[in-house]
Amino acid sequence: MVSIASTRGHQNVSMLGIGAYRPKRLISNDELCEVLDSSDEWIYERSGIRNRRWISGDESSRQMAVAASERAIQSSGIDRAEIGAVILATSTWKTLVPHGAPIVAHDLGMNGVAAFDITAGCAGFGYGLSVAADHIRAGSAKYVLVIGVETMSLGLDPTDRGTGFIFGDGAGAVVVGPSEENGISPTVWGSDGENSTAISQEYDLVEYMDRAERLQGTGSTDEKVGRLVIRMDGQRVFRWAAITLPKALRSVIESSGVSAEDIDVFIPHQANGRINDLMKKNLGLGEGVPVANDIENTGNTSAASIPLAIEEMLVTGKAKGGQIALLLGFGAGLSYAGQVVKLPPAPVEPSF
């Protein structure tokens, strides 16, 4: 009888350290409205956004992911040689082949570790955190580095009234590892492919290449031909969010074993400040429970938004390490993932 070995890891896991990187260039609503037919008042009122950050100069997804990870590793105090896997959540890495995680691992001096990307839109960080926690619980790795990084500005049509004002760039990372008490609840996650076209690239890769080929040599000045522009039907996403997310949040709290009164902070994906305030109200969280509002000056950074928002709250003192936070990522797919977590300590080197 052949017996194949199996592993069993550490059941209690937590985020041990966090780090982030915010691009230097800040774009105000007024600056954006030089090309977008909108106004500072409209954008702030509908989305809660005043500024967003876009990469410039030598900034890139690769550079931001590495910078955020260095800070997360430093904050965790973990020797990087002990990190057994790197998970990169992103939808905007410049190439599908090669994927980004091995390159980031190499840049971090961790060449050789298991390294893979997760593409789950704005829910990507929550998916990554879930996979990391399960890797550790199953014994596949002792420590896992989870990174959310996006350069949304590369796929943005700044003249599009539906998306031009929403998206920003940035990176956040956490080191996940064993802990005395459990700090990451079971994940509640799901998807709705039936509504997937509500947030999508304007062209798929085949259409894009056909178009580029047809336009070649025609002298076309269509600026969008060089980019895979993202379109969003905001009202459709809003309707989906209103039906799906309250149920998901209740389910996250229920399966976490804590009660709504135990939640110290609410850190949802930074898609829309108004949606987030509404979700808090519907959940019946206490008046004094702070809601992350990183979107105001960072915009919607998709898979990077939750770790960036956690970092902002820890750095500004709105939240403290060890507090109980409710997380929920949601967006393209359409997909979502949520957990109740214990927050890591504030980063040693903040991103701002």
One of 25, 46, 106, 318 touching ligand COA (CB under 6 A): 46
Residues 191-220 that bind ligand COA (CB under 6 A): 199
Q: Mask of contacts with ligand COA, 81-120, x by CB under 6 A?
A: ----------------------------------------
Count of residues of this chain found to bind ligand COA when the rule CB under 6 A is applied: 19
Q: Mask of contacts with ligand COA, 281-320, x by CB under 6 A?
A: -------------------x--------------------
Task: Point out which span in 42-50, 82-90, 173-181, 291-299 binds ligand COA (CB under 6 A).
Answer: 42-50
| Interface with ligand COA, residue 14, by CB under 6 A | no
Residue 221, token pair as written in the block: 């000045």
Strands (E), 30-187: 51-54, 83-89, 114-118, 143-151, 169-178
| Interface with ligand COA, residue 49, by CB under 6 A | no
Rounded to the nearest whole angstrom, what is the least distance from the CB of residue 336 to ligand COA in the complex? Answer: 10
| Interface with ligand COA, residue 237, by CB under 6 A | yes
Rounded to the nearest whole angstrom, what is the least distance from the CB of residue 121 to ligand COA in the complex? Answer: 6
Residue type (1 letter), 87: I
The one catalytic residue in 29, 272, 276, 300 is 300
One of 47, 91, 92, 187 touching ligand COA (CB under 6 A): 47
| Interface with ligand COA, residue 238, by CB under 6 A | yes
State how far the Cα of 57 lies from the Cα of 160, in Å rounded to an integer.
24
Name the DSSP letter for residue 271: S
The one catalytic residue in 29, 269, 276, 293 is 269
One of 28, 38, 191, 201 touching ligand COA (CB under 6 A): 38
Q: Which of 150/264 has CB closer to ligand COA? A: 150
99 is catalytic: no
Q: Which of 137, 116, 192, 108 is nearest to 8 (CA)?
A: 137
List CB contacts of 166: < 8 A, sequence separation 6 or more.
47, 49, 232, 271, 272, 299, 300
One of 54, 127, 143, 165 touching ligand COA (CB under 6 A): 165
| Interface with ligand COA, residue 170, by CB under 6 A | no
Strand partners, 201: 230
Q: Which of 331/344 has CB closer to ligand COA? A: 331
Q: Are strands 230-232 and 199-201 parallel, antiparallel or unpaired?
A: antiparallel
Q: Which of 25/46 has CB closer to ligand COA? A: 46
State how far the Cα of 160 lies from the Cα of 91, in Å rounded to an integer.
19
The kind and range of the H/E element at 310 are helix 305-316
Strands (E), 65-123: 83-89, 114-118
Taking a C-beta distance cutoff of 8 angstroms, is the pair 337, 187 a contact?
Answer: yes
Rounded to the nearest whole angstrom, what is the least distance from the CB of residue 52 to ligand COA in the complex? Answer: 13
122 is catalytic: yes
Taking a C-beta distance cutoff of 8 angstroms, is the pair 343, 319 a contact?
Answer: yes
How far apart, in Å, are the Cα atoms of 315 and each of 143, 148, 192, 312? 24, 18, 35, 5
State how far the Cα of 47 lies from the Cα of 49, in Å rounded to an integer.
5
The residues assigned a catalytic role are 122, 269, 300
Residues of this chain that bind ligand COA (CB under 6 A): 38, 42, 46-47, 122, 161-162, 165, 199, 234-235, 237-238, 241, 271-272, 275, 300, 331
